[in-house]
Amino acid sequence: MRRLKLAILISGRGSNMEALLKAIAADPDYPAVAVLVASNRPDAAGLKIAEAADVPTVAIDHRAYGKDRVAFEKELDDELRRSGAEIIALAGFMRVLTPWFVTRWEGRMINIHPSLLPKYKGLDTQQRAIDAGDNEAGCTVHWVTSGVDEGEIIAQARVPILPGDTADTLAARTLPTEHKLYPEALKIACAKILQT
Ligand code: GRF
């Protein structure tokens, strides 16, 4: 069985990355194998989780490149190519990627976003859902395109918004749902790539 080489990009806690690594470890038939976890922040807690799982890691501090986003992305792209990555999962990666990078990986890069897209692209999704009076929120995994949080949806899951919810309580309620959704959606994305 062919497995795609997976790179996961993070910026912080890395709980979605951990969920992907656990799903891969738990299923001998999972269609991906992790070859790299990369962070734009050297202090990202998720790097330690990846190291403990024996997955190669790299930190490329975006601050060293100032405003030159593409220079940062070229370094990242070099690391990804060196790792042999065939698919990228963004997991709490907090840098907007330029068209230069997105075009290089289009059709091979997915993201998890904590809202029911197309609602609430960008930041502060939970607060915006609460402020709008919505009675449900959720998370979406989608293909990455140049428009932020705009690519085709792969999978989505809903969670209720309860009276008295704050952005933090809603985010905490959504997170376990993200951890279930992302490994399933990554499987679907791998299947699509492997078909072509
Ligand atoms: C998650 O809520 C994810 O949907 C969003 O950023 C958060 C990252 O959390 N894109 P973690 O680093 O995976 O724990």
Is residue 191 exposed (0-12), middle (13-18) or buried (19+ Cβ within 10 Å)? exposed
Q: State the pLDDT at residue 1.
A: 81
Atom of ligand 1 nearest to the CA of 18: 13
Distance between Cα 172 and ligand 1 center (Å)? 11
For residue 39, the SS3 value is strand
Output the pLDDT for position 17. 98
For residues 15 and 175, the answer to whether their CB atoms sit within 8 Å is yes
Type of residue found at 86: E
Ligand 1 in contact with 178 (CB < 6 A)? yes
Q: Whose CA is nearest to atom 9 of ligand 1?
A: 92
Residues near 29 by beta carbon (within 8 Å), at least 6 away in sequence: 1
The confidence score (pLDDT) of residue 182 equals: 99
Task: Name the residue of 10, 11, 15, 16 to mutate for ligand 1: max ligand atoms within 8 A of Cβ.
Answer: 16
CB atoms under 10 Å from CB of 63, counted, come to: 9
Lookup: tokens for 58:
């790299």
Q: Give how far Cα 13 sits from Cα of 4, 16, 47, 50, 176, Å.
A: 24, 8, 9, 11, 14
Cβ–ligand 1 distance for 57 under 6 Å, the answer no
Distances in whole angstroms, Cα of residue 9 to Cα of each of 34, 85, 101, 112, 170: 11, 12, 13, 11, 24
Task: State the Cα–Cα distance between residues 91 and 22, nearest whole angstrom.
Answer: 14
Q: How far is it, in rounded angstroms, from Cα 34 to Cα 122? A: 27
Report the alpha-carbon distance of residue 176 to residue 186 in Å, rounded: 16
> Whole-model pTM above 0.85?
yes
Would residue 113 show up in a list of annotated catalytic residues for this protein?
yes
Which residue bears the tokens 């897209």? 117
On the CB side of 163, CA atoms within 13 Å amount to: 0
Mutate which of 17, 48, 90, 112 for ligand 1? The one with the most ligand atoms within 8 Å of its CB, which is 112
CATH topology of domain 4-195: Rossmann fold (3.40.50)
Q: Which pLDDT value is given to residue 191?
A: 97
pLDDT lower than 50: segments of the chain: none
Strand partners, 7: 36, 88
- Which pLDDT belongs to residue 196? 86
